[in-house]
Amino acid sequence: MRAVHRAVSDLRRGTPVLLEGGGEALVLAAAETVGARGLAELAGAALAPPVLLLAAPRAAAVLARPILARSVPAAAAEDAPVALRLSPALLDPAALRRLADPVAEDLLPEVPQIVPAPGFAQALSPVAIALAKVGRLLPALVAAPASTAAGARLGLLSVAVPAVLGYPAAAATSLTRVAEARVPLEDAPEARIAAFRAADGGIEHLAILVGTPEAARKSAGKSAGESAGEAAPLARIHSECFTGDLLGSLRCDCGPQLRGAIARMAAEPAGGVLLYLAQEGRGIGLVNKLRAYTLQDGGLDTLDANRALGYGADERDFRVAATMLEALGLPRIRLLTNNPDKVAGLSACGIEVTGRVSHLFAANGVNDAYLATKKARFGHLLG
């Protein structure tokens, strides 16, 4: 986990890294952050001219501009990364950022040519894209086969393929409770907040415990008139939303869902638990969510905007929530959600979901299309 964490940090600040696996090595730099120095270091370690690796949906957008007000083919989300040939003019930090970022694509100097995927692209490029996503960077990387000796001479960090592929599971399952305090809330005076941190020292996830949900678990089966489903405590998975939760944005329904869930749990005899996960924008991060908003203003819906950035429709990892529920002693819950994927995701991680509790809020005149997309394209049960 340490090597992945360090590699992500280097990519975020524009420094190339080496990706090694299967006897091969790839030198990588994030297209949105690399500068002249980083490109020079990449060239110093490269054994061949670099290409631009893009997630398939982003490549589809670049090769079929304009992206605004058009749909990204659904099949592209599942395809392997695409390699684009870079002319000398495009081996420039500003040009690379425009290629990576669809918000700035109208400034592109030319459309790159697609090339047959090199050998390294078939083997290592999906892992390279995964590494960029761990860092919540745009999944667009300058890449070339590398000399590990030259990379070491330049002081470039090396990370192994198995470490990258195993990182999401390792980060989720290594979560431990590091702090807890009573925090009375406006809608739930009897509330506690517990913080969880992964072994890599990354960003924390929070559990908001309303009342005593543990009591519902302990009472399961003790009351003759109480069903197993009723005995399970109420729980909600809520991905953080800076704009909706904190600022009251009207573009989504996150703020009302957050406050409504807390109030709903406060009305429960045993309360409930809300897992406040650091998975903004369905796992793409705040910066990329703002980029997606710009694309939505140009005509794309939520799903296609994420794909235009190179991300999947939903990049969240429900193993995080499952680990937290197990640590809280709540392996059996009723889930407050309109999203059947959350039920399926938690169940696949070993959490027993005894029932789904609907969590509906009316459209506000601004988020009508957003809610319609949730229903039509994400399968949310909104009536």
Active site residue 291: no
- Give the tokens for residue 277: 């996960």
Edge-to-edge order in the sheet of strand 205-210: 176-182, 191-197, 205-210, 272-277, 234-239, 332-336, 352-357
Distance CA 129, CA 29 (A): 11
- State the catalytic residue, choosing from 136, 314, 319, 334: 314
Phi then psi for residue 245, to 5 deg, are -70, -45
Write down the residue that tokens 């203003």 correspond to.
Answer: 297
Q: What is the distance between the terminal CA atoms of the chain, rounded to a whole angstrom?
A: 42
Containing 237, the helix (H) or strand (E) segment is strand 234-239
- State the catalytic residue, choosing from 264, 282, 316, 319: 316
| Distances from the Cα of 23 to the Cα of 93, 165, 188, angstroms | 30, 17, 56
Closest to 327 (Cα-Cα) out of 209, 221, 234, 243: 209
Active site residue 316: yes
Closest to 59 (Cα-Cα) out of 99, 108, 32, 29: 99
Would you please indicate which residues are annotated as catalytic (active-site) residues?
314, 316
